[in-house]
Amino acid sequence: MLEWSASDLSRAIHARKVAPSEVMAVWLAQVQAANGAVNAIVSQRDPDDLLVEARGLDDRVPSGWLHGIPFAVKDLVATAGLRTTWGSPIWKDHVPARDDLVAARLRAAGAVIAAKTNVPEWGQGSHSFNPVFGVTRNPYDLSRSAGGSSGGAAAALAARMAWVADGSDMMGSLRNPAAFCNVYGFRPTWGLVPHDAEGETYLSTLSTEGPMARTVEDLARLLAVLAGENPEVPFPRALPDLLTGLEGGMRGCRIGWLGDWGGAYPMEPGILDLCESALRRMEDMGAIVEPLAPPFPTEKLWQSWVTLRAMLNAGGKRALAEDPAKRALTKPETIWEIEQGLGLTAQAVYEASAIRSRWHAHAARMFQRFDAVVLPSAQVWPFPADWRWPQEIAGRRMDTYHRWMEVVVPASLIGLPALSVPLGFGARGLPMGMQIIGRSGADARVLAIGQAWHRATEWPQRRPPSLASAPASR
């Protein structure tokens, strides 16, 4: 059962071939067996309470696609009655009174909210460690990072402690951990999954929630749960049909290969080689792959990105820096972000937005020629878990705590749909992934390309070494 996709598990539950109480017992046993080493699941509810809730669902008419499936929600999402910390010691004992929108939609679809998945403090930095729960480790090599900020979600999927998971992505937090953990992570077109109606909602157009899974069908089904208009926030987007064209295949697909953006993005050895091997396989599947020259100056993209990100962090988290007690309990990277934002001028923010606007227009013209463009999902292989972040890549020093993952910025800055697909493993046995990026609104097309890749490769079926001796079942 642990090896089934979430879709297959759902079909079995709906056909009453498997009872939710059986599923819960399997999940609890797997968390007990695997989580001590990986530390992906946090704030787990009492097992007896979970079994009682699951038994109550055994004979109930299914309420939705996720009926009876245990679900661990990312710890950046408030969950009613279940501790939510944002990885911060300030909130280490916080139990929300109500759900955020993501958790509410998961419950409405029938999920049993059983636990949370670990994150970096405040979700900042693509390495999931915090002073409340510690570090999440990569199931494929426990000495290595699982990435972040959805590192707990990615590691739980890889270690078979989740059938499907939610994540979020401002910079690359759905794609980087998916690449590190040999699973899929999909950043949807910005606005497809709406924000909660809290704080500032007109300028905050960089981050989004999205799905993670071991199959693309599961991604599409979970995205259909998470997406849909929230009338209380601006810029609504209609929910596209994500499943009808999922089996569209790769033949005739036009793909632009951006590589390392003309050398602008330093890469550790082997990453580009693995991507190019995957692209040759895509050509064998009928895709048309064309190398692309750098389409836009990366220094301009980075200037726009760090400015707008700092502005939003300063606006939303200013109290963490100004309150001495909170400041003492806040990671230095977050304080740095806030202070950068507080020093910005209105003109700097305007210029950053103008760069963003020009890149959006240029990308739209690029997608008149291509169905998708491709970049590596990360610039480094999963790095040692005791690092805060990689400070050098291929001899080039990183000047900020997040510069090492700059390759995700082109899609994030203008809200493009971007799917990280697993590519297999490097010489040291570590996983890596590749971003398939589409035009704004082309989520269904990007997922269809990903589905063709999954059908041909099924990389997530290769289980971590700690699970390799366990019997597989389909």
Active site members:
74, 149, 173
Kindly state the tokens that stand for 392: 């050098």
Question: What CA–CA distances, in Å, run from 404 to 125, 389, 392, 462?
Answer: 10, 8, 8, 27
Buried b (16+ CB within 10 A) or exposed e, 299-331: ebbbebbbbbbbbbbbebbeebbeeeeeeeebb
- 243 in helix, strand or coil? coil
Which residues does 248 contact at the CB level (< 8 Å), separation at least 6? 445, 448, 451, 452
Which residues does 344 contact at the CB level (< 8 Å), separation at least 6? 307, 310, 311, 314
Question: What CA–CA distances, in Å, run from 232 to 101, 194, 202, 326, 407?
Answer: 11, 9, 11, 30, 33
CA distance 120 to 76: 9
Asked if 211 contacts 175 with a C-beta cutoff of 8 angstroms, the reply is no
Give me the amino acid identity at 27.
W
Asked if 71 contacts 27 with a C-beta cutoff of 8 angstroms, the reply is no
Kindly state the tokens that stand for 4: 């089934």
Kindly state the tokens that stand for 115: 């636990």
Beta strands in 271-416 (DSSP E): 288-291, 372-376, 392-393, 396-397
Give me the residues paired with residue 186 across strands.
Answer: 419
Helix or strand holding residue 424 (H, E): strand 418-425
Asked if 125 contacts 34 with a C-beta cutoff of 8 angstroms, the reply is no
Asked if 221 contacts 182 with a C-beta cutoff of 8 angstroms, the reply is no
